[in-house]
Amino acid sequence: MSSESPVVVGVGSVAVDFLAAVASYPKPDDKIRSTDLKVQGGGNAGNALTCAARLGLKPRLISKVADDSQGRGIIEELEADGVDTSFFVVSKEGNSPFTYIIVDNQTKTRTCIHTPGYPPMYPDELLDSNLKSVLDGARLVYFDVRLHETALKVANEAVLRNIPILLDAERLREGLDDLLTLANYLVCSAKFPQVWTSASTTAGALVSILLRLPRMEFVIVTLGESGCIMLERIDNDDPDLKEVSVDSLLASLKEQIDENSTAPSCITSPIAKITAEGIGTITGRLLAGTAEKIPSSELVDTTGAGDSFIGATLYAICMEMPREKMLPFAAQVAAANCRALGARGGLPLLSDPRLAAFSGR
């Protein structure tokens, strides 16, 4: 990898994933056989930064493992993919994190049973000298909201250095609100916006998020096979800007989507005063992205699809990719990963022919 590759720093979870594919999810007291088995690195931050490394970024990861066979395997696999683990904390005792994942071949779903690492990571284990050096030259910082006290320590230093922050809000977690107030970009799961804001619609919740978090430049909500929605804040004081309801705007964007297309795409609204009833108004634009329509014969496992979407988003931000190009790019990367077992099994390199349409800016 080139020494000029953009540096991205992450703080969060790593694990070993024990993946067993089965014909169908077992009933209580069943005894079944797996159709496929894989032992592979996992954890949201580990997966996202592995994806970013394969696309050409230079990731540095802060996390903690134990000095056991699983911990050593986690580090070796990350290093082999080009992720810098020199800022890891390695405990002499305890256990490294691991997850049992049952992949249902019939429903194409996965069930995860996670065992956290022990002992947990404490913020004072990240030395001040390492905190300064890990952020040197960084273009972007990413948190999955695990190790939240350490993450907040890194986030505050990143803000002092004017390094933008991307946050993954999968669900409500301890320390999330503190990190949200410092973040510039947010990628969240389908249920999160309404859970966090109590808004009546997802689109309205996105308006609420940007109003509550003045530092936030955009929020993306991922919707699985239904694609994603992005609300982007744009400074524009044009008095003639049209005021439009966010829900009606989203409906009009969806009407423009070509349902016959299998490739990821993006429909973008004009810049407008986007309003949500009972919530308020932001100036910006709404984007609706589609997912690739993967034939059922090619869909293997959705484990890590969200992490790969985030890894691709990290790359797109670092490369200043236009937003309307970023969403289909991230969707394409996620779709590639769904064609193999495990969170990293199908992660593509930037040279992958499926990504050729996104080369350049």
Mind listing the pLDDT tens digit for each residue in 190-205? Answer: 999 999 999 999 999 9
**Residue 1 covered by a domain:** no
**Residue 2 covered by a domain:** no
**Residue 289 covered by a domain:** yes
Cβ-contact 332, 359 below 8 angstroms = no
User: Which is nearest to 48 in space by CA: 345, 355, 344?
Assistant: 344
Q: In the chain, which ranges are E strands?
A: 7-11, 15-22, 36-42, 58-62, 64-66, 89-91, 98-104, 109-115, 138-143, 165-169, 185-188, 218-222, 228-233, 243-245, 266-268, 272-276, 280-289
Encode 36-62: b = buried (16+ Cβ within 10 Å), e = exposed: eebebbbbbbbbbbbbbbbbbbbbbbb
The pLDDT, as a whole number, for residue 4 is: 81
The pLDDT, as a whole number, for residue 176 is: 97
User: Which is nearest to 89 in space by CA: 114, 116, 115, 118?
Assistant: 118
The pLDDT, as a whole number, for residue 361 is: 47
**Residue 76 covered by a domain:** yes
**Residue 360 covered by a domain:** no
Query: pLDDT of the chain along its 361 residues, tens only?
Result: 445 899 999 999 999 999 999 999 999 999 999 999 999 999 999 999 999 999 999 999 999 999 999 999 999 999 999 999 999 999 999 999 999 999 999 888 889 999 999 999 999 999 999 999 999 999 999 999 999 999 999 999 999 999 999 999 999 999 999 999 999 999 999 999 999 999 999 999 999 999 999 999 999 999 999 999 999 999 998 999 999 999 999 999 999 999 889 999 999 999 999 999 999 999 999 999 999 999 999 998 888 899 999 999 999 999 999 999 999 999 999 999 999 988 899 999 999 999 998 875 4
CA atoms within 13 A on the CB side of 22: 19
- Across the strands, what pairs with 272? 284
The model carries a pTM of 0.94
**Residue 361 covered by a domain:** no
Amino acid found at 290: T
Euclidean distance between CA atoms 311 and 340, whole angstroms: 17
**Structural domains in the chain (count):** 1
Q: Tell me, what CATH number does 339's domain have?
A: 3.40.1190.20
Instruction: Tell me which DSSP letter residue 225 carries.
Output: G
pLDDT digits (tens, 9 = 90+) for 3-41: 589 999 999 999 999 999 999 999 999 999 999 999 999
User: How far does CA 119 lie from the centroid of its chain?
Assistant: 26
**Residue 82 covered by a domain:** yes
Can you give the residue range of the structural domain that contains 65? 7-26+33-353
Give the tokens for residue 78: 């990350």
List the Cα angle 116/121/125 in 5-degree steps: 160
The pLDDT, as a whole number, for residue 360 is: 58
**Residue 166 covered by a domain:** yes
